[in-house]
Chain A
Amino acid sequence: MNEHYEFLVNAALLVLLVVTAMGIARQSNLFAAAMLSSVYSLLCACLFVHLDAVDVAFTEAAVGAGISTVLILGTLALTEHREEAPHRPHHWLGLLSCGGIALLMIVGSGDMPAFGAADTPVHQHPLARHFLETSKEEIGIPNAVTSVLASYRGYDTLGEVAVIFTAGLTVLLLLWGRRSVRHDKS
């Protein structure tokens, strides 16, 4: 019985996500699209909690629903928001190619191992056992995600912090200070 409920919650969240994504894609008002993307991030966080990825859900909720929406709204305030339908030739080209690739990938995903099964390559890999069993003695902290993030894959995280720092530097170089010349509308 429990599994049925789990499946139902999973399916409902996925349907909501796909529908919201379609809403974002169809929405011609950018302000509405920004707000929808915030809703979308919250739904995504719910799905991640359901899929046992609590750390990821935490980050997605804080980053997607919080900071990134604020940045998009800030950009809209600094530029303009016009309502604009999709560009016609691009619309059909995009629909056709994306539909085709989606079809191919869905057919291809039929060969993927079953969702949540214990005998998939992901769970059979020796690293899975190492992270979940040996890490208790080696690192000694309960949250396996933290011990993998900060210790086993410390190089990754160092590189990533450097990426964040570089991105911050880039934004500062591009936008810091006031605009010197106001753009005239002519």
Chain B
Amino acid sequence: MSDINFIAAVLIVMIGLYTVIAYDNLIKKIIGLAVFQTGIFIFYISLGKRLGGTAPILDPDFLVYSHPLPHVLILTAIVVGIAITAVGLSLIVRIYEAYGTTMEHEILDKEHAILDKGHATLDKGHATLDKEHEQ
């Protein structure tokens, strides 16, 4: 029988992953990524917890402590997480300024349109060249 903490961690990770996959909006994807991370945080912290223990701030009155190492790792992960969010969001702002949208499929459509236009110009150039050759 698995414990509810681990089940909840798995569910939260998968809800985050679903948000990243299912939505087209890039900001929504970043929010989903943040949710994904917290699922992993909960998993780690749950591993370090000891029933009947207390926070790892050493005091002669207590004997049982939770493990401090997962706390340190997750502390680091949270701060790296905000760094990821900040960089991701600033990239989204720049993408919006360049494409006028934050929806992934619209960005791809515009990108394809630009490519098609480029190909058309190339074909036209080739045709002119061929014509000159014939003459």
Residues of B in contact with A (beta carbons under 8 Å apart): 1-8, 10-19, 21-25, 27-28, 30-32, 34-35, 38, 41-42, 45-59, 64-72, 74-76, 78-87, 89-94, 96-97, 100-103, 105
Given contact pairs A84-B24, A145-B72, A25 touches B32 in the complex (Cβ within 8 A): yes
Say whether A174 contacts B93, CB under 8 Å.
Answer: yes
- What 9 additional pairs, Cβ within 8 angstroms, besides A6-B51, A30-B28, A84-B28? A18-B12, A18-B15, A22-B15, A40-B35, A78-B93, A105-B10, A149-B76, A157-B76, A179-B97
Mask of A89-113 contacts with B, CB within 8 angstroms, 1/0: 0110111011101100110011010
* A167 partner, pick from B3, B32, B72, B87, beta carbons under 8 A: B87
Q: Is the CB of B31 within 8 A of A33?
A: yes
CA distance in complex: A76, B27 (Å): 8
| Max count, chain A CB within 10 A of own CB: residue among B32, B46, B68, B81 | B68
Residue pair A110, B96 in contact (C-beta under 8 Å): no
Contact A149 B93 (CB under 8 A): no
- Which residues of the other chain, A, contact B58 by a CB distance below 8 angstroms? 132, 135-136, 142-144
A72→B74 contact, CB < 8 A: no
Determine chain A's interface SS by DSSP, over half rule: helix
- From the candidates A56, A142, A143, A175, name the one contacting B78 in the complex (CB within 8 A): A56
* CB pairs A–B below 8 angstroms (23 shown): A10-B4, A17-B38, A21-B35, A24-B31, A33-B31, A51-B48, A60-B41, A71-B85, A75-B89, A78-B93, A78-B96, A86-B23, A94-B21, A109-B10, A115-B3, A122-B70, A144-B68, A149-B75, A149-B76, A153-B72, A167-B86, A171-B86, A175-B90
Chain B residues lying within 8 Å of A149, measured Cβ to Cβ, are 72, 75-76
Chain A interface (Cβ within 8 Å of chain B)?
A: 3, 6, 10-11, 14-15, 17-18, 21-22, 24-25, 30, 33-34, 37, 40-41, 44, 47-48, 51-56, 59-60, 63-64, 67-68, 71-72, 74-76, 78-82, 84, 86-87, 90-91, 93-95, 97-99, 101-102, 105-106, 109-110, 112, 114-118, 120, 122-123, 127-128, 131-132, 135-136, 142-145, 148-149, 153, 156-157, 160, 163-164, 166-168, 170-171, 174-175, 179, 183, 185
